[in-house]
A and B are shown apart, each in its own frame.
Chain A
């Protein structure tokens, strides 16, 4: 068990080495919220604005999820680098079991995401209101599941790509599909209406509905804005996503680092 904590500590130390990258990410997230969202607030159709409680309020939970995703995904970059530079032989030489090593990496990725996301979540609370302790607990549990799933997804991609270029390309594809085909920037009703008109392919509409990023953002919105209504399906989707990618990542990581 202590081995897992050592790995988490190792990954947290690495995380703070990227302070420049983190500062850039923070400034982008804040610019999205305090410039882009404020201007869009004035541009959104008044009828729709009433439904979503104003664009700024709608987008604040979205930007929290954006930050969580980008920071939790960073673990994949490090794992990919370690595999390419064969640093994993050093990791294997440590007095830790393979499962401790894999679990430590996965947990570290998720916890780093939670840590980075916290100020953004607090900013969201500052503008949208404070949830009740029970709601806060659900929000944090849901975001933790999301962070673990993202960390798992990123590790799974990292160990299945042989070069940094392939990893970055795969990461870009996953980023953009999950970001834009979600309810981070716009409500699901708009995506569904494009689907009904035949403009947006139906599989993409379904993806937007079950996208874990949509569920993460919508859970925060449901407690702070009252829209959309909270359902257990949202948490179930996140739990499924988290379980699927955490398991895949653990087995893929253990298999890859033991490959000779």
Chain B
């Protein structure tokens, strides 16, 4: 289904190129001395997580399209439990995000380089869980709201805040310097866990917010919460009827 969105894939690829070759490159000249030598690689790694997150949450929009065309009722009529359905959607959403972001990860690795293969494998495995969790979160919100408009606005606000209040674009030490409130939110942000872990995986360890183990635990918690909350919300909101 996702491959139908060819234009989305082209758009995201253009966005990635623009982010890396313009914003990343130029801003790496703008930053303080201690960041100058490292910021470009730091930013490229962050962009991958930003992309992984935004592609993973796209599944929520698919759910609305399915509801609009009556496919949702068809899916509910299949001989699969609600649990299997929501788990399948979360995992499917996560896997397709990886298929899409895979080539971009390869480009990022070519730019940043890899020092420890084992660290990278661990980081990528945890990022799978992050992608499943983000898809689960999107499904949970979509099913809980059952309104395309409200979903659109909430995801717009959430995306704007979850990315900016994380370490995707800047190290935690500078967020702390700017605002303790922002730093506090960034500390518990799943996008921070994912970007820290990916940077650790590729060997950019200078500005990590937390230990890799804590980041993995954070991602595992994020995955479990949204998968199980997703299953519960899905069952409660759809039991005894369809989408409407």
Interface residues in chain A, defined as those with a beta carbon under 8 Å from any beta carbon in chain B: 20-21, 23-25, 27-28, 30-32, 35-36, 38-46, 48, 55, 164-166, 168-169, 172-173, 176-177, 179-181, 185-186, 190-191, 193-194, 199-200
Q: Count of B residues near A, CB < 8 Å?
A: 40
Decide yes or no whether B150 CB sits under 8 A from chain A.
Answer: yes
Q: A40 and B152: CB pair below 8 A? A: no
Contact between chains at A20 and B7 (CB < 8 Å): no
Contact check, A46 vs B32: say whether CB atoms are below 8 A apart: yes
Rounded to whole angstroms, the CA-CA distance of A42 and B155 in the bound complex is: 28
Q: What does DSSP make chain B's interface, helix, strand, loop or mixed?
A: helix
* A24–B156 CB distance below 8 A: yes
Contact across chains for B160 and A44 when beta carbons are under 8 A apart: no
Residues of A within 8 A of B36 (CB): 45
| Contacting pair A172 B156 (CB below 8 A) | no
A177–B18 touching, CB < 8 Å: yes
Measured CA separation A186–B182 after assembly (Å): 23
Minimum CB–CB distance for A64 against chain B, Å: 17
Partner of A45, one of B7, B19, B26, B30: B30
A24 contact set on B, CB distance < 8 A: 152-153, 155-157, 160
> Contacts A23-B153, A27-B156, A28-B156 given: A176-B26 contact, CB under 8 Å?
no
Interface residues of B in 151-166 (CB under 8 A from A): 152-153, 155-157, 159-161, 164-165
**CB of B75 closer than 8 Å to a CB of A:** no
Are B161 and A176 in contact, CB atoms less than 8 angstroms apart? no
Q: Which residue from A36, A44, A177 sits with its C-beta under 8 Å from B30?
A: A44
Given contacts A172-B15, A179-B18, A186-B27, 5 further A-B contacts (CB under 8 A): A23-B153, A31-B160, A36-B164, A39-B169, A176-B15
Partner of B156, one of A23, A41, A199: A23
Q: Which of B15, B22, B35, B156 makes the CB contact (< 8 A) with A43?
A: B35
